[in-house]
Amino acid sequence: MRELLLATLLALASCSSDTSVPVEPACNPLGAGPCMTPWPSSVFEVDDPSTATGRRLAIPAAALPGRTDLVALDPAGWNLADGFSPTAPLVMAWKGGVSPEGLPAPGDAGDSLTTESSTLIVDVTTGARVAHTVELGAPSADPLAAQAVILRPSSRLVGGHRYAAGITTRVRAADGSELAVPTGFAALRDHKSTDHELLEAMRPRFAEVFEALETAGVPADELVVGWDFTVASGPRPDPTAARDRAILSSAAYADPIDALMAQGLIEMRPAPDSE
């Protein structure tokens, strides 16, 4: 009887997760701020052998802002696509703010192609680095508010390709300290199981993300966060062709990140000549 009890306890321990991720079930477990970030992300993709990319978007309704400009946001229209928009920015965010020091600034996209760049985007399909610049969202007086880090590729991403993005430890918090490594990303890096279903669903493919970023010159221990996503093979299917007409609400925005910006959850800094 004692041996049976011990075996049961060991079995329960082996089934338990190593790490509890403090992120809502529908939110991106690699993030540390707004629910959707980092964006775009394969955490909101599923396998679909019927599509050109072999993937399909699966954005939970609970991951989106509830309403924007009196338009109820329904992800069903976006979820018809076999990948993300080739022109949308990449967005991550941290509470407490981010320092602009060392980021590839507008006009300096060439810097992002060097191994010294503090951020990187890699075309996993080809292995090539992608030139980009980085902007910061407007800072907030609230120390608990998240500030966005916005990576803008210099050219349209290639349809059907898979991409990986990374923000390295060279990027610092607004006060100069180290940025917090999101719990979910640390769990993937350190091979620890978690209690977050979306993270565990993406885990089998994530070794390829680490490999792509390391091949580009950034090993996992030099990353604050990394993620991947698939770019749609072509235009998003016409939502009017779907049975559920409610998806027309999502047609108001080309990409869900536009909804975040419209909601004011990601506020852009004004351009220097407009201040």
> Which of 33, 63, 18, 32 has its CA nearest to residue 45?
63
Tokens encoding 65: 């802002």
Cα 86–chain centre separation:
14
Q: What is the mean pLDDT of residues 24-38?
A: 92
Tell me the C-alpha to C-alpha distance, in Å, between residue 74 and each of 31, 158, 240.
22, 26, 14
Chain segment 194-210, per-residue pLDDT in tens: 999 999 999 999 999 99
Beta-bridge partners for 52: none
Chain segment 225-249, per-residue pLDDT in tens: 999 999 999 876 555 444 343 343 4
User: How far apart (Å, rounded) are the C-alpha atoms in residues 144 and 39?
Assistant: 20
What order do you get walking across the sheet with 119-123 strand by strand? 119-123, 162-168, 223-230
Chain segment 105-135, per-residue pLDDT in tens: 888 899 999 999 999 999 999 999 999 999 9
Q: What is the CB neighbour count within 10 angstroms for residue 244?
A: 10
Q: What is the mean pLDDT of residues 245-272?
A: 51
What is the value of pTM for the model shown? 0.84
pLDDT at 272 over 50: no
Which residues 6+ apart lie within 8 Å of 215 measured at CB? 122, 127
Q: Are 66 and 42 in contact (CB under 8 A)?
A: no
* Residue whose token pair is 């209690």: 195
Would strands 71-72 and 132-136 be described as parallel, antiparallel, or unpaired? Answer: unpaired
pLDDT confidence of residue 266 = 52
Residue 94 pLDDT grade (very low, low, confident, very high; cuts 50, 70, 90): very high
Q: Are 15 and 9 in contact (CB under 8 A)?
A: no
Average pLDDT value for the chain: 83
Q: What is the CB neighbour count within 10 angstroms for residue 46?
A: 12
pLDDT confidence of residue 258 = 66
Chain segment 134-147, per-residue pLDDT in tens: 999 887 777 678 89
pLDDT confidence of residue 247 = 40
Residue 255 pLDDT grade (very low, low, confident, very high; cuts 50, 70, 90): low
Indicate the domain borders of the chain. Answer: 29-267
